[in-house]
Amino acid sequence: MGVHGGWPCHPRWRARGAAPREQRLLRRRRPARSDSDSESESESESDSASASESTLLQSPPDAWPAPALLPDPCAATHGGHTWSDLYACYFGPTGKANCSAQSGCHVSPDGTVASISGFVCGTTKESCWFGMTHPIYVLQGVEPPTVCDAGAAAVDGSCPMPPADAGADAAPICSCYPSAANPDLPIVPMGGTTDVTTIYIWPALHVPSTTCTRAGLCDNMPYANIGQACPKGTGAYTFTPDDMARISAWIEEGAQFN
C-alpha cells in the first residue's frame, strides 16, 4: 500500500470525511460568531426594512402597490344575457345588484322591501326567476295583505286555490293577489315583452339618468340602505346602458329560465 507523508492514500479513507490540510487550518483560524454579531445583523436587517417602509410612505400615491381587486362577477358571463348570466352578474348573492344583500330586501316574504313590492327572490337561481316572473302572492284572507312565496306549487303559472273541502278554520293559502281569478302582474311578465319600459322592474332599477316620475319604487334598486327609506335616484349599484341592454334582451326573448 502506497503512503504519502506517513498517511494512507486510499480513496475510501478520504470518503470518510478527511479534509485537506488547508481546509483544516482555515477552520481553526475562523473566529467564532458572538451574540453581539448576531444582534448587529438583526438590527441592520430591521433598519433596512424600516427604511424601505419609510421610503414607500414618502413616495407619491401613484407609486404605491395597487390594492387587490375583487373578482368581477360579470367576467365569466362574457356579456351573455341568459337568466344564468344575469343572476351571476347582477341579481344573485355575488352579483353587483344582489336582490338579497340585506336582510330586509327580497330574500324572504317577510322582508321590508319584499312586502312592499311583492317580489321574493329567495336564495337560489330558480327561486329568484320564479319570484320575478310570477304574480304577487299573498296569504288569502289575511289582513293586512301578507306576501308569501308560492314556490314550485305554481311553476306552471297558475295561482293555487283553496281545497274544495277547506273549512272556515283552514290555514290561509298562498295564492295570487288580489285573487286567484284576478292576479296582479309580476315584475317581469311570463313570456317576456317587447316593450320593457311598460313593466314593473324597468323603472325600479337605478340608472345614471331616468325619466321615471313615480313618487316611490322608482330608480332606487338595489337599495343602498333600507333604514334611509332609499329615495328615488339612489342605489347601491348604478346599472349602465350595457347592463340594461343585457336585461332587456333577456326579457324581449321570453324571460326564460335559461
Q: How far apart are CA 243 and CA 87, in angstroms?
A: 12
Averaging pLDDT over each range in 45-54, 96-105, 221-230, which range is the top one?
Answer: 96-105
Binned at pLDDT 50, 70 and 90, residue 220 comes out as confident
Exposure letters 163-201 (e unless 16+ CB within 10 A, then b): eeeeeeeeeebbbbbeebeebeebbbbbebbeebeebbb
Residue with cell 312592499: 116
Mean pLDDT of 79-98: 93
- In degrees and rounded to multiples of 5, residue 175 shows phi and psi of -140, 175
Q: Name the residue among 248, 229, 253 with its Cα closest to residue 90.
A: 248
DSSP character at residue 9? -
Give the pLDDT confidence of 29-78 residue by residue, as tens digits: 555 555 555 555 555 555 555 555 555 455 555 555 555 556 788 998 89
**In terms of DSSP H, where are the helices of the chain?**
11-15, 21-29, 35-58, 83-86, 112-117, 125-133, 201-204, 241-252
Within a 10 A sphere around the Cβ of 135, how many other Cβ atoms?
24
pTM summary value:
0.67
Binned at pLDDT 50, 70 and 90, residue 235 comes out as confident
Q: What pLDDT does 3 receive? A: 41
For the residues of 182-243, what is the DSSP string, one character each? Answer: EEPPPSS-TT--S-GGGSSHHHHB--SS-----SSSSS-BS-S-GGGT--TT--SS---HHH
Give the pLDDT confidence of 130-175 residue by residue, as tens digits: 999 988 888 888 888 888 887 645 555 578 877 777 666 777 888 8
